[in-house]
Each structure stands twice: as C-alpha cells, then as structure tokens.
Amino acid sequence: MQLSRIGVVGGGTMASGIVEACILADYDVVVRTRSEAASHSVKVALERHLRRRIARSEIDDERYEVAMSMVRYTTEIDDLYDRHLVIESVVEDIEVKKHLFAQLDRVLIEGSMIASNTSTLPIMALAATTTRPERVLGLHFFNPVGSLRLVEVVRSLVVAPEVLEAGRHFVQTLGKEPVIVNDEAGFVVNALLFPYLNTAVRLLERGVAAKEDIDRAMMLGCNYPMGPLALLDLVGLDVAVAILERLYEETGDPAMLAAPTLRRMREAGHLGRKTGRGFYDYQSKA
C-alpha cells in the first residue's frame, strides 16, 4: 500500500512533531488546524525545531528549505480529501475525536487510512464512527516526537492486516521503531508507566521521601533520565489524571486511581511545566 500524501489534524506540540517527522522523510503534508493562529503556531514550531537541527549539523540549509516546502496549512477539512493517510492529534476527548473521524470519513477519497495519535482512547470506538472501520488504526507517537523513536501501532478488532502493515511500514520510513499493540487502554507504555508515576505521588503523600529524593532515587537506582515527579510535570498533570481515569475505567485496578494530590493540583491549575508550576516551580527559571 503506497503512502505519499499525509494529512495531520491538530495544532499542538504533538501535531507539529508528527509533521516534522513526516516532512523530514519527504512526505507531502497538509496540516489542518482550527484557526490561522494555530497554523502559524505549527509553522513557528517547525521552523524552530529544524533550525535546532541545523545548529546540531543534522541537516543543512538546503535540507531545511526542502522540508519546509513539503508542508501546507489549511483550516478547511475538505482540503485533506486526497490524503492517503490522515493522522489525528487533537484534544484527548472521545466525542471530539469521534466527530472528527466522521468528518474525515466523509471527505477522504476511497482507500484512505485514518489514524489516531490517542494515548488511551479506544481505536474501535473511533473506527465505528466511519464507513471504513477496517482502515482505521492507532499511531501513538511519544513526546518529544523528534527524539523518541517509539510509535505504538494499535490494532483494533477489525483493522485490515494490510492497513496494519502499511502503518508499521510508514513508521519505519520516519526512522522510528513500530511496536504492534492491541486496542486496550494505555496500550503498553502508558499501561506500565502511569501506575509507576501514580505510586511516586502516593510515596510523596505518605512522606516516604522528599520529591527531590524520590526523583533522584529512580534516576540513580534505575538509570532513568528523569524522575517520576519531574516527568509528571513534563507530561502535564491534567493529562496524567485523564490517562489514569481512562485506565481505571477500563481495568478497575486500584493502582490506576489517581492520587488525591494529582487531582488537587489539577484543580488548582498547577499542571507542570506548561503552567510554570507543578511538583517543581518553573516560573523563576530562565
């Protein structure tokens, strides 16, 4: 199955990272956002990331210009009509995604594939909103997309084998490593990661150790590049609670119940790096 024309829906960090990976692999990309401002944000992020690659001698100026020429921006969903594959990376809300998948199903040419970058939501529920459920799959990228090589390729109950294989091959063409996973909440990485992060918060709640020592223990004892509380700040505490809620909804496992501190910090708006305050204070850092 030949893929050369890619669509990306979304205007956030993950969407811009996916676009970057695609244009560096010489795919023709159309980015659909909800506003001109969001399109501008994606373009600015792409320019910044590619300039950093130039500074690191990963690409040269000519490669930069070629990559930037591979992407176009639109606010109209109909402009995605001729894409072979559209990757959705919008807000992690099942109803929003269902509505988008139904729209994509209406405008895309016959034979096109639709993928979701969701980290926890059921691919089958999204596929069921379309007339082509066998051509819907999950492609779960990890943040930051530019440096993390893993992509979970999610297999629903009805996805066609050739579609799953096309998704796996597409990931490889981006220079990334695909892992085939079943359509279960959290897939592999988040199903393992978030109970660990949640446990770290519970240790903090019980006063087992200070936050800095919890993070230092995991970095030095397990050779992790970042401690669990710092990682929660990077992920975003609102995102973490939403993922834990989804995991608990599907599994009923008490380990998936978000720690009270996480919920209270979300309610206070202390969401981590993106708000300047989480388990650590980022407001005073340059």
Give catalytic status of residue 152 as yes or no.
yes
- In the set 16, 112, 190, 198, the catalytic residue is 190
Q: Is 140 a catalytic residue?
A: yes
d(CA 259, CA 280): 17
Residue with tokens 């006063």: 207
Q: How far apart are CA 49 and CA 68, in angstroms?
A: 11
Active site residue 190: yes
Based on C-alpha coordinates, what's the Rg of the chain? 19
Nearest to 71 by CA among 18, 146, 148: 18
Active-site residue among 39, 89, 116, 119?
119
Marked catalytic residue, from 20, 88, 92, 152: 152
Q: Is 49 a catalytic residue?
A: no
Q: Which residues of 72-107 are buried (b: 16+ CB within 10 A; e: fewer)?
A: ebeeebebbbebbbbbbbbebeeeebbebbebbbeb
> Who's near 115: CB < 8 A, 6+ residues apart?
85, 86, 87, 88, 136, 137, 138, 139, 167
Q: Which of 140, 147, 169, 198 is catalytic?
A: 140
Q: Please list the active-site residues.
A: 119, 140, 152, 190
